Structure 1
Amino acid sequence: MTRNSRRWAIAAAAFLAAAPVLAGCGTGEDANTNKPYHPTEAVTVRQNGIDISQAFFLGPEPGSKIQAGGATPLYMSLVNSAQTPDQLVGVGVDPAVGTAKIPAPVELKTGQGVRVGTPTPTIVVEGLKQPLSGGESIRIQLQFANAGIIPVTVPVITRSREFATLAPAPGGDQSSTPSATPSASPTEGATASPSPSPSTTE
């Protein structure tokens, strides 16, 4: 293990041990799930020359859930305002939430922005340990080659309004709608009583 990877592993372990990583929002009239979510309103994280904004995980369609074992893609904007180029080389998430997957480093040239997730999602948290309905938040840490580790709390939003056309995690959104309560059926062997015929008036 190299010195950089050892430092990344130690810092990741300390971060994950100290912070709750999946929080559900309340339910009711004032719950976050009942309010429109606009990425431009999200908190912008600026650290070590990296600006992280408009970050969110794409959840299921309203009324559905991404079931345990499913996956959710990460969308966000990155701007490198440092004097040297950088790379996003890793994403950390608590194993109790799932497993973060980044197939290749994200190149960040000086003074240029990158939109992660479009046109095709690349960074995904898969193997979710709990279902996602939208309104939760997931604590992650972004590992940059030069800027180091930057922690971010990212909301989970539903695929509605302006987010309805965004692509889910590769392989499908893996969501399901809760099944309706089945209607009662006659007891096996019982004979249903015929309905009385309507009477007529002379």
Structure 2
Amino acid sequence: MNFAHTVRAVGAPVASALLAGALLMGCSDDPTETDVSPASGIAGQIGQISIRDLFVLGGEGGATIQKGGSAPVYMTLVNSPGEVETLGPSDAPDPNAGTDALTSVSSPQATSVKIIGGPVSLPAGQNVRIGPAAKIVLRGLKQPLNSGDFVAVTLRFKRSGSGSLNAPIQAREGDLQSYSPAP
């Protein structure tokens, strides 16, 4: 038996066992227990922007946010341009090379969405965390928001275009107590 055959013969079952173990590590005896950490949000990609841990903050202790109310949106954005043009039109270094910006957010669930303080600058290669202070707020909710449901959120970027993701609604409890409710 050669080395490559041995690696395939032993590696596949070991990899399967490791994968099964990793999947089971998050399980608990309580099937109603929920993970309320920001890592419970969803991830996605719009152009060169990676979206991580996107979620909408629900009511205190899982309370419903009523129709007409407001709810903040939290996430981490990472701008990873493929190629960064470093020279401007005059062959001088361009200080904005590779930067992008979150210019607007919308949701069919809200009559409006406010980015407090204006567009969010996204320097190339940097993580930009939106939270724990409320910066993006869904206003004038068209129907109640319940923890565990999802809300469609469309993000628009200056250079990367736009895209929609379904963000989970997380109860404001546990690790999320430090996150601000909508102002």
TM-score, normalising length: structure 1: 0.63
Matched, 1:58 2:57: yes
> What's 1:90 paired with?
104
Q: Secondary structure at the match of 2:141?
A: coil
Aligned partner of 1:101 among 83, 102, 114? 114
Name the structure where helix makes up a greater proportion of residues: 2
Q: CA deviation at 1:155?
A: 0.5
Q: CA separation in 1, counterparts of 2:120 and 2:79?
A: 11
Q: Secondary structure at the match of 1:163?
A: helix
> What's 2:144 paired with?
131
Q: Secondary structure at the match of 1:169?
A: coil
> What's 2:67 paired with?
68
Q: Secondary structure at the match of 1:44?
A: strand
Cα offsets for 1:90-129 (capped at 9, x unmatched): 01211x54321123000000111111133x2111001112
Count of aligned positions: 138
Q: CA deviation at 1:30?
A: 6.1
Q: CA deviation at 1:160?
A: 0.9
Q: Secondary structure at the match of 1:133?
A: coil
> What's 2:76 paired with?
77
Cα offsets for 1:24-63 (capped at 9, x unmatched): xxxxx967xx522443354321232111001111111225
Q: CA deviation at 1:166?
A: 1.3
Check whether the contact 2:42–2:168 (CA below 8 A) recurs between aligned residues. Answer: no
Aligned partner of 1:122 among 99, 115, 135? 135
Q: CA separation in 2, counterparts of 1:30 and 1:68?
A: 30
> What's 2:45 paired with?
46
Q: Percent identity?
A: 36
Check whether the contact 1:117–1:123 (CA below 8 A) recurs between aligned residues. Answer: no
Matched, 1:141 2:140: no
Name stretches of at least 5 consecutive residues in structure 1 with no aligned partner.
1-28, 171-202
> What's 2:177 paired with?
164
RMSD: 1.9
Name the structure where strand makes up a greater proportion of residues: 2
Check whether the contact 1:73–1:117 (CA below 8 A) recurs between aligned residues. Answer: no
Q: CA deviation at 1:153?
A: 1.0
Q: CA separation in 2, counterparts of 1:113 and 1:73?
A: 19
Residues 38 and 117 (structure 1), Cα distance of their counterparts in 2 relative to 1, 3 Å cut: closer
Check whether the contact 2:62–2:173 (CA below 8 A) recurs between aligned residues. Answer: no
Report which of the two structures shows the higher radius of gyration computed on alpha carbons. 1
